[in-house]
Amino acid sequence: MTTRIDRRFAALTKAARPALVTFVTAGDPDHETSLSILRALPAAGADLIEIGMPFSDPMADGPAIQAAGLRALKSGQTLKRTLAMVRAFRAGDDETPIVLMGYYNPIYSYGNARFLADAKEAGVDGLIVVDLPPEEDEELCLPAIRAGLNFIRLATPTTDDRRLPAVLANTSGFLYYVSIAGITGTAAPDTTAVADAVTRIKDHTGLPICVGFGVKTPNQAAAIGRVADGVVIGSALVEAIRTSLDEAGRATEGTVPAVTGLVRSLAEGVRAARQIAAE
């Protein structure tokens, strides 16, 4: 079955350019503002959207995304409201792929079968669950695939050629390559090392490879876009939200434009990546 993610990457391949994948936390800084940001992302240049599912113990996330999750939880965001947000987004956009990213605990608490049914009905296209290894595929990965959702796995600089087949076994949509060891948003990626890793992984799979963690500027996005099929931006967007808030932590008139303005500049960098490489 062809998914929105498959169709989007097929179109990008035809256009000979990498994807800009944007990450925002659902409900940050509040539900309505978060939905407004979500709706504005495609026009600003986002090709795929990852939505973080807020969780109280986000062990792989750096300070920026941890703080976003806490703001969202404080504002009353729940997994049910996150799915409602996707449903509201789909009312005006039936093309842009949506991937939910986060941890297994909220899904488990919601109920796996119920979650997968509700996610599919809401218009979710894929899942990234960072704390479920391939050895646990029967738990959620395989049921998600049967429900028609892509299950997207992470590979890291420590994922060697012996481990890679297990990581890729039930992965679909794309592979998310974590460009640095450690938590999100804490260091800049080494483009040469990323290029070597992408080349090595492509010997094992025909899936698109998107690279994230540490990409913050248009120049970094362009550099990664020259060697990868997609560039994931997360912490920089979450920081743009934070710095736009008032002293009480509430959204201002500048919150949505702060995010969309940054996305536009990052999109320009990503779109220029292959042009620069061809010159």
Exactly one of 61, 137, 229, 239 is catalytic; which is it? 61
Asked about 28 being catalytic, the answer comes back as: no
Q: Shortest CA distance to 37 belongs to which of 277, 262, 279?
A: 262
- Compute CA distances 2 → 5, 47, 132, 172, 274, whole Å: 8, 17, 24, 11, 26
Residue with tokens 């690279």: 211
Asked about 61 being catalytic, the answer comes back as: yes
| CA dist., res. 94 & res. 138, Å (int) | 30
For residue 198, with 0-12 CB atoms within 10 Å meaning exposed, 13-18 middle and 19 or more buried, which class applies?
A: buried
Sort residue 148 into left (φ over 0), alpha (ψ -120 to 50) or beta. left
DSSP reduced 3-state for 203: coil
User: Residues, the chain, total?
Assistant: 279
Within 26-72, strands assigned E span 48-52
Name the phi and psi angles at 192, rounded to 5: -65, -45
Exactly one of 28, 30, 47, 50 is catalytic; which is it? 50
| CA dist., res. 97 & res. 82, Å (int) | 15
Active site residues: 50, 61
